Every structure is written in C-alpha cells, then in structure tokens.
Structure 1
Amino acid sequence: MEFSHDDNNDLPLTKFESMLKTNHVLFFDSEEFENIIHHYLNQGKIALAKKAIKLGLDQHPTSINLRLFKVEIYVFEDKLVDADRLLNELYNLDPMNEEIYIQKANIFSKKDDHLQAIQVLKKALELTDDVLDLYSLIGMEHLFLDQFEEAKECFKKCLEEDTEDYSALYNIIYCFEFLDQTEQAIEYLNTFLDENPYCEVAWHQLGKQYYTLKNYKKALTAFDFAIISDDTFVGAYLERGKVLEKLKRFEEAIENYTITLTLDEPTSFALLRIGFCYEKLKNDDLAVQYFYKTVHEDPLLDKGWIAITRYYNRKHNYQKAFYYINKAINIDSENVTYWKLYSQISQRLNLFEEAERGFKKTLELGNYELNTWLSRGDLLIKLGEPEAAIFNFEQALDFYPENAEIEYRLAGLNFSLNENDKGLFHLKNGLRYNEEYTFIIDELFPDVANKLLVKNLLKTNQ
C-alpha cells in the first residue's frame, strides 16, 4: 500500500513521522516499515527512507525485505560493493527470493554489464508468477544494448500480461520506430486494437505511424477513434491538428488546438501552431497575437521568438524584428538561430558592425556554415578590416578546403594589401577550383580587378 497525508491519522506513516519529532520509539511490525520505506522512496525522500530502514532493522533485524531496502539504498548511492556483500548474505538465507536477483541485476546494470543483468533477471523469472515487472526490466536492459528486437519481444510480453501497460506499448512502438519498421508497427497496432478497440493510446500511436507515412487520411481516422475512446485526450487533439494542417484545413486545425487549451494548461506548442494556422489564413493580427501568447507561456521556446521576428521581417518592419530578436537573445544568448537572424536583420538596417558581431557569435557557437563565414568576411571587408577578413577566410578554408568563393576573396584581400605573391597564389587556386566565381573580384575588389597582373591572369584563363 501507499500512504497519503490525507489518510486517517492512525496510519503508520503519521505515527512514524510523529515519532521522529519526539524521543519516544514506537513499535511497528515489519510490513508497516516496508510500506513506510516504499512511500518515502516513491517520494524521493531518501534521508527519511534511510531512517525508516535503520529503525526497522533495529526492531526486526532478521527481516530480509527490510535488508533488501538497504541494498536498494546502497545501489542508489553507488555503494555497489556494500550492496553486493549484503545481497550475498541474503542469498544464503533465502536463495529463492526473486527480489534478491532483481537487485543483483540492478548492480550489474549499474556496472554496464547488461548481458549479465539479463541472465540474472531470467533466473528471477523462474521464481515468480508476477512476471510483468521482470519482463519490463529485461526489456530495458536490451534497450541499453541496442537490442531492439529482443526488447520489443519483452515489452510485448508485458502487454500480454496487462493490456493497459501503456509504458510497455510506448516502448514497443519506440523499438519499431528505431528499427524503421513503420509498416510492422501499424500491423502490430491494428492487431492489438482488434482485441482492445477502445484503447486511446494505441489509436494515438497508430495515427502517428500513418502520419510518418504521410497517409494523412488514415492518420486522421486513427486520431478520431482515439478521441472517441477518450474525448479528453490532449495528445490526440494535438496530433489531429497537425494532420489537418497538412491537409490545409487550417480552421479545423485551429479548433483542435483550441480544444487542448480548454482541457489542460495552455501549451506553447498549441499556441504556436494556432499562430501559424492564422498566418496561413492571412489573418496576420490573430497570428501575431498567438505568437505573443506563445512566448508569454514559454519565454524559452525559441520557435516563438523566431516566429515573431520572421513575422515582422516579412512585413519589412525591421526595427520591430530587431527589437524582438534582441529580447530573445537576452533570454538565451547561446541560441545560434537567434544570432543568425540578428545578423540578417542588422544588415537590412545597415547596422554592419552589429551584423558582423552576430555572425562572429554564430561561429563561436559552432555554426560553421559556408554562408556564415562568407557573410562575416564580406562585412569585415565593408568595415575596412582586411586583416580580420583574411583571418576569417583562412579559418573558413579549414572547413571548406578547395572552395573557390573563399579563394577569390583571399586573393582580392591580399592584392589590396599589396601582398601580390599571396594574392596570386589564392587567385590561381580560385581559377583552378571554379572559374565562374571570378566576378567576386570585380564586385568586392574593383581596384584589384583593374590591376594589370590580375587582368592578365584572368584573360589567360578565359
């Protein structure tokens, strides 16, 4: 049993907690201690669980179950040697106790010896009729080993024991998805639904599989049945909304997303999707209202800030776009997409130093796209910082060797600094990699393009 503070005052848990506040030691039978410890472990109150174990063993020193709780605490605290020693003692006392094998397997699992954990759990299977939890544990060990077929079979056995074990059902579908077995997942779910036609979770998962295959008509039907089975199933309404969006039925999608807002706390996902739907319907006022609601609900959701920024970007209201992307950066300065948008909008506002800073930050955050290197380097050229531009493009070559666009820029920069040998080296490289990009010299370095040395080299390659 599990305790609640709302239960009657004569419960062992209430008595135990009262005892802790006084110096009086009260007596509990071993089963009461087990229930108290189980409650604290479920609540994550490890210190109280340890107190209960100590007091329990003081009163019942021979209780194997209480000593097994002590093993569980040892494992939790990574005291695996102590746990193993105590388990060996308990095995000598009660070799037919399946919980000893479960804890032994837990130790092996903690040591990443998942194969041995599976073998021990299989021995435990032979000692009990309550196999559901054991199959689940064995399935999880197979998952640790990326043995998805074996894991799948274990979770199927869980579902055979209890058709409402939705955790097992989710794990089965996870295995199918990892193995890219969408058709097999659909076949399995349909078979399961033949026996359990009102299982909303199975209908929901079936709809997601059809969605993966872009069979939106069948996906919609599956989500309809999920909602018929449980008309408060928020996930089914959300998925149904996604399908309706794919079918360009945006008003109906909005209806489904809106239902989720009434059934549960508003989610930023639903608010954002409603905004996108209104945007598709050309209702810009309502679209941006829902984008605002999205970031109000979840200020850390980057998609919300990006939606607002891009909305104003499309409206050519770059000042507002710049304002909101700055707000986003103030909340999360490590978001690469924010900095890319910041740079693009800064350029449109002719804020070239800010744009260069944005591209530099983008690179520092590990976004090494070619366009980022080129954009930053071109801005440094525009800002009159040729040495910094050269350093930028030389770094870019480490990621994009034999790239003509970079080589022509390095050629132009070196010629402009009268580093003619270096300029010739990079110009020849550029011509060798791709002659079609010679226009870069004309556009970015018109003075260099008029140099006789450059003109002659370009003519001989025409």
Structure 2
Amino acid sequence: METDDILEALDSKLRHLSQAGAIEPEQIHPVAIITRERRQIGDLEKDLQQVLDTIKYDVRIPPLLTQLADLHLREANHSRAILLYEMTLGLNSEQVGAWISMGLSHFMIGDPKDAISCFGSALALEPENVTALVYLAMTQMKKGELDECNKNLDMALRIDPKMPRALLGKGRYFKAKGNLDLAVTWLKRAVQVDPAFIPALMELGSIHKILKQYDKAIEVLTRVLSIDAEQADALATMGDVYSEKNDLEKAIYYYDKAVSIKFDDPELWIKKGDLHRARKTYQQASDAYQKAINADPEHVEAWVRNGAVMLLMNDEKTALEYLNTALALQPNNAEVAHQRGLILYSLERHDEALSDFDLAFSVDPGNPIHLYYRALMLEILGRDSEAKRTWIVAQRLFEEIGDTSKSAECKARIKRIL
C-alpha cells in the first residue's frame, strides 16, 4: 500500500472502532475476541511502522499515533500504549490528553513515579485540568501520600464541584483514612451527580460489604449490573458478598461470570478455586488455580494453593512440584518452605524436610511451629542432642505465645529424650 493509503485506511478504521470521550480506568481490559476489523488495524499498524521514519513529521502522524495508543490502552496493552504515547508526544508534546492517558497507563501497571510525571506534564500545560488533578490525586493515594492527594482533590472540586470522579476520589480518600461514614457521604454525592457512575456505586457496594451490610451491597451491585451486565469487578464483588454469606453456589455463579470477562485476573481464579475447595470439589479447584497460574505464572499463591489441593487429592508428588516452583519464585517464603517440608516429611525425605523447616524458621523466627517440626525431623534422624535443644527453644517460644498445649507436648518430648 502507498503511504497515504495506509494513513487514510488506519485513520478511518480507528475512528470507526474508537469510543467517544476520554478513557476511563474501568474501560481498560484485555480483549477476549479479536475482531476482523481489529486484526486489520494491527496489520495497518505494522505497515505504518515500516514507513514511519520517513513520514514522522507529517502533521497527520501525532494524532494517528495517539489514536493507536488509546486503542492499546483500552485493551490493557500497556507496554505498546506507552511506547506509542512516547512517540506521539515526542513529535507534539502539547497533547494534554496523551499525557493524561500515558499517566493512566503507568498508574494501571503500578508505576506511580512515571504516572505522576505524566500528570504533572499535563498540568504544566493546563494547570486547571480537573482530570489530571484527580488522577494525580489517585496516584498519590496509591503511594500513601494522603495529604497531597486531598489537596489535589480539593483543588479539582473548587474548579468543578460536581465532577463525579473527584467526588469519588474524596470518598476513597476518607475510606483510606478509615472514616467510612464520610466516605459513604461523598460517594452518594457522586451518585447524585451521575446516577450511572459505576465506580462510585462500586465503592458503595464495597463499603457495605466491609460493614457486613450484605443486602445493601447486593442492592447497589445489582444496580451496577443493570447499567453494565459485564462489569467484571461488580460481578466479582457480588461473588465476595455471597461467599461471605456462605451461599457458595451463588458466589461461584458470579465468579464464573467475572472470570469469563476478566480472564487474566489470577485473584479471581483463586477465589473461585477457594470456593470449590470449600465445597470439596477438588479437581475444579485445581483447574481454577491452574487458570490463575496461566494468567500469572509468577503468582506464588496460585502455585501454593494448587499444591495444597493436590495434597487433598492424595497426589503428593504433584503437590511437591507445585511447591518447588513456588519456592523457586519466592525463595524466602517461610510458609511455602514449611508446607514443602510437611510434604517431604510425609514422603519420608527427612533430611530435605529438615532443611525446609530450618529455612522457614530463619525467615520467620517468631513462629515456633517451624522449630517443632525441625525437632521432630532431628529425632527421626537420630540426632537426639540437637533435637533436645530445639525442643527446649520451641517449648519456651510456645509458652511465650500462650500455646500451653504445644508447650506441654514439647516438655514431654524433652523428658522422653532424657
């Protein structure tokens, strides 16, 4: 294709596919199904990349790159989005919206320093840009800088007293401060301004859940789902509510719907797995934990949970493999080391189990249960003098934390060695 044809085709397809208005955090999520038109945009993007160096000073390029970046941001393809924002801003640094969107992308991937820098650049161009002020405040809140966050929210509300996201920010600020009553007041103001403002409704539902006001939480979340039936976070929170109500059937129903939309969220898969485990449907639990691993292969807890459920299925060798991986990912995790030690103990690999209990205690010296099993392994291995010393220390630690039963058991074992 000729260069002009590439630019015209790409611009046309992006205009057709892009959504109106600014990008909201709640709109950012991976795409489950790639449409034919989206694939065509991908092909045109590759074509553009090949000729970009020769036409980058064409006035059509910066807005086109911004549209492409926005598309990638909406699809949660943050690395590509940020790269494209950097390119377009390198050509035209006065695009306030691009600075804000790039900051939002950094915020979404947990990079507050660069997010703050981007929002600062936007505010340098437009000091009263309320959106930039609010996102800056949200980033500061994430960093724990609550005073600075509150100052920026107040500034935003002085400029626009009825901006729903600024009102939401105040609600989240008071929630972070532990003042749930004031948080609810501000969130209700946001909903009064915009009755369909899902983030504020979601926060209200979350606070009702925290306060164990389950009926109120369900009412608010049902309202959210009537606005957007595919709001994954609302579905997940509904699952949380029913889980806390011990209605596991309904909880799984909502988690199923949530993961069908937010399929790359390991925490959701783990919640689903935990419910199946509670219902003793272990294979389904394992399947869910495996999906969590697929979503994030470095998610230690997912490996541990799958290992634990394998034990419940009497598959000790597979359980050991999962815990080996978990410990490789997080070598100083005392809980994982202890769990692996227990499996090795059950497999009568006592030397290896001893090493794991030693590791667990070195990382978590305040927990005498590691010493308890260390002493047990030493006894089995015939190292009685070391076992006795370990039992003595364990007995003292159990006594300090008020575990009289374990303390008495340690005393009995000390006497037996004598």
TM-score range, shorter chain: 0.5 to 0.7
- In structure 2, which of residues 386, 389, 392 is the aligned counterpart of residue 428 of structure 1? 389
Determine which of 166, 169, 176 is the counterpart of 1:205.
169
Distance change (3 Å), C-alpha of 1:40 and 1:49? farther
Return the match for 1:192 from 146, 156, 159: 156
Which residue in the other structure is 2:184 paired with?
220
Give me the whole-angstrom Cα distance separating, in 2, the residues matched to 1:145 and 1:261: 31
Residue 211 of structure 1, CA deviation = 1.9
Distance apart, 1:274 and its partner CA: 0.9
Shift of residue 250, structure 1, vs aligned partner: 2.1
TM-superposed deviation, 1:353? 4.8
**1:323 counterpart residue number:** 283
Query: Contact 2:388–2:414 at 8 Å: present in 1 too?
Result: no
Identify if the C-alpha distance between structure 1 residues 337 and 232 changes in structure 2 by more than 3 Å, giving closer, same or farther: same
User: For residues 289 and 406 of structure 1, do their structure 2 counterparts lie closer, same or farther at Cα, with a shift above 3 Å needed?
Assistant: closer
1:316-346 Cα distance to aligned partner (Å, 9 max, x none): x42x1x1222212443444432333344445
Provide the C-alpha distance between the structure 2 equivalents of 1:159 and 1:246, rounded to a whole number of angstroms: 38
8 A Cα contact 2:99 2:119, kept in partner: no
| 1:245 matched residue in structure 2 | 209
Asked if the contact 2:396–2:407 (Cα under 8 Å) also holds between the matched residues in 1, the reply is no
* Number of residue-to-residue matches in the alignment: 355
SS in 2 for 1:177: helix
Query: How far apart in 1 are the matches of 2:366 and 2:170?
Result: 49
Following TM superposition, by how much is the alpha carbon of 1:276 offset from its aligned partner in structure 2, in angstroms?
Answer: 2.0
Structure 1 vs Structure 2: percent identity of aligned residues? Answer: 16
Q: CA deviation at 1:287?
A: 2.6
Structure 2 distance, partners of 1:309, 1:204, is 32
Cα gap change, 1:51 to 1:209, in 2 (>3 Å):
same
1:199 Cα deviation after fit? 1.6
Alignment RMSD (CA, Å): 5.1
Q: 1:290 aligns with which of 244, 249, 254?
A: 254
Separation in 2, partners of 1:211, 1:145: 20
Structure 1 unaligned residues grouped into runs of 5+: 1-12, 21-32, 58-64, 74-101, 108-120, 125-129, 456-462
| 2:328 pairs with 1:364 | yes
Aligned partners of 2:170 and 2:186 also within 8 Å: yes
The answer to whether the Cα contact below 8 Å between 1:404 and 1:430 also exists between their aligned partners in 2 is: no
Matched, 1:45 2:9: no
Asked whether the 8 Å contact 1:36–1:52 carries over to 2, the reply is no
* Distance change (3 Å), C-alpha of 1:46 and 1:440: same
Q: How does 1:430-445 map to 2 (within 5 A)?
A: 431=392, 435=396
SS of structure 1 residue aligned to 2:201: helix
The answer to whether the Cα contact below 8 Å between 2:171 and 2:184 also exists between their aligned partners in 1 is yes
Q: Is the 8 A contact 1:155 1:169 kept in 2?
A: no
- The equivalent of 1:416 in structure 2 is 380
Give distance in 1, aligned partners of 2:370 and 2:353. Answer: 11
Q: Cα distance, 1:272 vs. partner?
A: 1.6
Q: Which has the higher contact order (CA 8 A, sep 6+)?
A: 2
Deviations 1:19-40 (A, max 9, x none): x8xxxxxxxxxxxx9x999889
1:140-180 Cα distance to aligned partner (Å, 9 max, x none): 9xx999599998766545454555xx2x1244214542664
Q: Unpaired segments of 5 or more residues in structure 2? A: 16-40, 66-85, 400-404
Measured in 2, the distance between the counterparts of 1:133 and 1:309 equals: 40
Normalising by structure 2, what TM-score? Answer: 0.63
Task: Tell me: CA distance 1:227–1:354, structure 2 relative to 1, closer, same or farther (3 Å).
Answer: same
1:273 counterpart (233, 237, 244) = 237
TM-score normalised by length of structure 1: 0.58
Q: Residue 349 and residue 450 in structure 1: after superposition, are their counterparts in 2 closer, same or farther (change >3 A)?
A: farther
User: Which amino acid in structure 1 is aligned with residue 45 of structure 2?
Assistant: K
Q: Which residue of 1 aligns with 2:354?
A: 390
Cα deviation, residue 69, structure 1: 6.6
| Larger radius of gyration between Structure 1 and Structure 2 | 1
Q: Is the 8 A contact 1:346 1:352 kept in 2?
A: yes
Q: Could you tell me how far apart the structure 2 residues matched to 1:312 and 1:145 are?
A: 36
